[in-house]
Structure 1
């Protein structure tokens, strides 16, 4: 996924009202960005560090600029725009980069399914081959300290009833004889493995382990991040 034109840079001042962030431009002026991230952004907010943003020419938008990347105080890049995760996954699947998800002829987005009124992020199909239901989660939480090995990424970054619902739906899909996949799109250059955030949402961790035991496939793929391009490049281990 290329940014055309490349992203512009500023310095983060603050995030507020959940969906807004103020940055300082190189000329000293300040602008407000749309922050496309509904999570807590735990360990993703570093005032005084560089951020990168895209700009829309849509005159109907109240905020023309969208926050895309951040840099932490260790120099690692973080993908802030969680809306990019599905497109990154779709691009990688269609390019054949994710071998575990190759061999399908049809790819559909946002298909209604399940008993809890859900929409699956990606549905892969091919003739008599079992349909493959893929739920995608953006992982940006790098935890550090004595309780975590270096490079440990955790999901979710806040209690997620929606995420719990999706795990239940995936288990039902698997019970019906179809493929069920949970794909973590890792948008943090410092994350080397993914695990459930039991310290934040213990119920999610319980359901994730239950889902794995039920045959739900757990995948994680790391994104290579830059102001010019973001793409999934390598698989990471999922530990639970």
Structure 2
């Protein structure tokens, strides 16, 4: 995925109210407020002064003229925009970078299923062959080289795991794909201390037959590509 417009750089002042971030732009030093499309805690990624990359936009209907895309911390590039993962995983599947999810005739996004939910990606093959794919964006890394999910309590995430397990019981395939949007990790673990109930739901889903994959990203100010398998240690 290439960015549609050149990104602009700045330094983070603060992130607050979950969806807002104040930034000092490098070019000219103006202080602006950017949209932060990330509902997680962003643990370890909010230190004042870190370098950030923003997408500018000139849509008169948008109140905020910048969206926060990337940051750099301890030499690692991290993608924090949670509107990106579904598209990145879709690209990876279509490019054959997740071999276990290849061979389907159709891929659809945001399809209704389960208990008033929408699946991130639905893969459909011949007959009634279906694989339900849930995508989670991962940015937390408290130990060098090891990504963790979640970074906050997520009852919604546990519900998604339950519904994936239900699809397996109905005779379909289900898969959880963790997208590691940082370039310094080669393994994934669950942050069970942060959300024990998510860990329990994860274990139950795996026991029911839900498949689990993790894929890492190559990130730059020009593009983000999900391009390498990450070891799952959950």
TM superposition score normalised by structure 2:
0.96
Superposed, which structure 2 residues align to 1:43-192 within 5 Å? 43-72=44-73, 74-114=74-114, 116-128=115-127, 130-144=129-143, 150-192=144-186
Please give the alpha-carbon distance, in whole angstroms, between the structure 1 residues aligned to 2:89 and 2:165: 21
Please give the alpha-carbon distance, in whole angstroms, between the structure 2 residues aligned to 1:36 and 1:48: 19
Structure 2 residue 227 is the aligned partner of structure 1 residue 227: no
Please give the alpha-carbon distance, in whole angstroms, between the structure 2 residues aligned to 1:181 and 1:77: 27
The answer to whether the 8 A contact 1:106-1:126 is kept is yes
Could you tell me which runs of 5 or more consecutive residues in structure 2 were left unpaired when the two chains were aligned: none
The answer for the alignment partner of 2:37 in structure 1 is: 36
Please give the alpha-carbon distance, in whole angstroms, between the structure 2 residues aligned to 1:45 and 1:225: 19
Please give the alpha-carbon distance, in whole angstroms, between the structure 2 residues aligned to 1:40 and 1:49: 16
Deviation at 1:172, TM superposition (A): 0.5
Task: Determine helix, strand or coil for the equivalent of 1:87.
Answer: helix
Could you tell me which runs of 5 or more consecutive residues in structure 1 were left unpaired when the two chains were aligned: 145-149
Deviation at 1:188, TM superposition (A): 1.4
Deviation at 1:4, TM superposition (A): 2.7
Task: Determine helix, strand or coil for the equivalent of 1:108.
Answer: strand
The answer for the alignment partner of 1:147 in structure 2 is: none
Task: Determine helix, strand or coil for the equivalent of 1:213.
Answer: helix
Cα deviation 1:21-78 (Å, max 9, x = unaligned): 1111122221111010001111111211210010122110000100000111x11111
Please give the alpha-carbon distance, in whole angstroms, between the structure 1 residues aligned to 2:8 and 2:170: 47
What's the Cα RMSD here? 1.1
Deviation at 1:152, TM superposition (A): 1.5
The answer to whether the 8 A contact 1:193-1:239 is kept is yes
Please give the alpha-carbon distance, in whole angstroms, between the structure 2 residues aligned to 1:208 and 1:196: 9
Which 4+ residue blocks in structure 1 deviate beyond 3 angstroms?
none
Aligned length: 233
The answer for the alignment partner of 1:13 in structure 2 is: 13
Deviation at 1:129, TM superposition (A): 6.1
